Structure 1
Amino acid sequence: MIGKLKGTIDEIGDDYVLVDVHGVCYEVFCSSRVLSKMGSVGEAVVLFIETYVREDQFKLFGFLTALEREWFNLLQSVQGVGAKVALAVLSTLTPSELANAIALQDKTTVSRAPGVGPKVAVRIVTELKNKAPAFAGEASGNIGLKQELGEGVAAAPVADAVSALTNLGYSRDQAANAVAAALKNGGEGGDSARLIRLGLKELAR
């Protein structure tokens, strides 16, 4: 199996890149996010690879980080999610954004990905909710609080503060991050009004 490719970019297509490794060009299918972050033809590239071997096909899928590759496989453990839909999700959301959306049970954010309908979005946030913390990456710091919010078990002042900030036009993720920061910066044990004030200060930075 191929785990990683190091080479130069030979060609970039709509959903793939050709990577030249010592004269051998590998066709690697990637999300639009990965393709947009690549350099130009002739530049060096390193891709983490997931190899698909089927009776009728042999495909390579490429990712810029091992975490993206892990999410690609994790998403496909959900019924109704194949490689195409998993790539569409990773084209729309970063691993951290995806982990946050799942923790918050935010099926609307997940359903922004092409090919992800409401039913599939619900299955993704439901079936992966216990796995998201292990794959949260840079979002791991606040993932516990977001899970509590998503499951409806967060402390009342916290839930009320997040709700108030959301009503002011911030996304649930932004609101949750602000309240989490407020708690760390002296708001722990405070009422919802204090958390809202501190949260607004965080959002204004």
Structure 2
Amino acid sequence: MIGKLKGTVDSIEGDLVLIDVHGVCYAASCSARTLSKLNVGEAAVLFIETYVREDQFRLFGFASVLEREWFRLLQSVQGVGAKVALAVLSTLTTSELANAIALQDKAMVARAPGIGPKVAQRIVSELKTKAPAFSGEAGAAMGLKQELGEGVAGGAVTDAVSALSNLGYSRDQAATAVAAALKTAGEDADSAKLIRLGLKELSR
């Protein structure tokens, strides 16, 4: 089983990249985000997921271990195969995906090509308890976002997020800013204070 490839990018065609490892070229399917970090003739490291079937042997390559873990996790959802998982990871960063699941934002997930509303709903529903472990840099505000997604966040928090969203910020941006504001203001802060501090966070 191949876990990682370290070599030189030989060519890129469609979603396939050829990595030359000491004269042997390995073909790996990659997300658009991973492909955007690769350049022909330059050194590259890909973390590999190996699929072995009766009729095929296929490699999937990722720029990070976290992206590979999300690829595996997405396929635990009914109706999500390798192609759909790659489409999601091509559209959303791992942080955006973790946030969308925490906030139960199926519309964000449905932005990926080939993802209908039913599959998007299954992804955010079935992975909501697993996403925090795969949140990476999105982890700091994950608890608050899950509370918002489940409708159990406090009134001041909900009002502050709503107010910032009405000003044109995404729900994810608003929730992250309010989470940071809570650290400064404390759990008992009212919505006005959270909005003020949240705006300060968003202006940085």
| TM-score of Structure 1 vs Structure 2, range by shorter chain | over 0.9
Unaligned runs of 5+ in 1: none
Pairs within 5 Å for 1:63-142: 63-142=62-141
Pairs within 5 Å for 1:36-51: 36-38=36-38, 40-51=39-50
Corresponding position of 1:157: 156
In 1, the alpha carbon distance for the partners of 2:157 and 2:190 equals: 8
Answering whether residue 182 of structure 2 is matched by residue 166 of structure 1, we say no
Q: How far 1:187 sits from its partner (Å)?
A: 4.6
* Matched residue type, 2:62: F
Check the 8 A contact 1:88/1:113 in 2, yes or no.
yes
Q: Secondary structure at the match of 1:50?
A: strand
After superposition, give the CA deviation of every residue in 1:110-135 in whole Å (9 maximum; x if it has no partner): 00000101000000000000000000
Q: Over aligned residue pairs, what C-alpha RMSD do you find?
A: 0.8
Check the 8 A contact 1:187/1:198 in 2, yes or no.
no
* Matched residue type, 2:6: K
Scaled by the length of structure 1, the TM-score of the pair is 0.97
* Matched residue type, 1:45: A
After superposition, give the CA deviation of every residue in 1:144-169 in whole Å (9 maximum; x if it has no partner): 11000100111110011101111111
Identity, % of aligned pairs?
A: 78
* Matched residue type, 2:91: T
In 1, the alpha carbon distance for the partners of 2:191 and 2:137 equals: 27
Corresponding position of 1:9: 9
Corresponding position of 1:197: 196
Corresponding position of 1:27: 27
Q: How far 1:186 sits from its partner (Å)?
A: 2.2
Moved more, 160-169 or 80-89: 160-169
Q: Secondary structure at the match of 2:36?
A: helix
* Matched residue type, 2:118: K
Unaligned runs of 5+ in 2: none
Scaled by the length of structure 2, the TM-score of the pair is 0.98
Q: How far 1:200 sits from its partner (Å)?
A: 1.2
Count of aligned residue pairs for this structure pair: 204
In 2, the alpha carbon distance for the partners of 1:140 and 1:193 equals: 25
- Which consecutive segments of 4 or more residues in structure 1 shift more than 2 A? none
Check the 8 A contact 1:187/1:195 in 2, yes or no.
no
In 2, the alpha carbon distance for the partners of 1:78 and 1:168 equals: 35
Q: How far 1:188 sits from its partner (Å)?
A: 3.2
In 1, the alpha carbon distance for the partners of 2:41 and 2:192 equals: 56
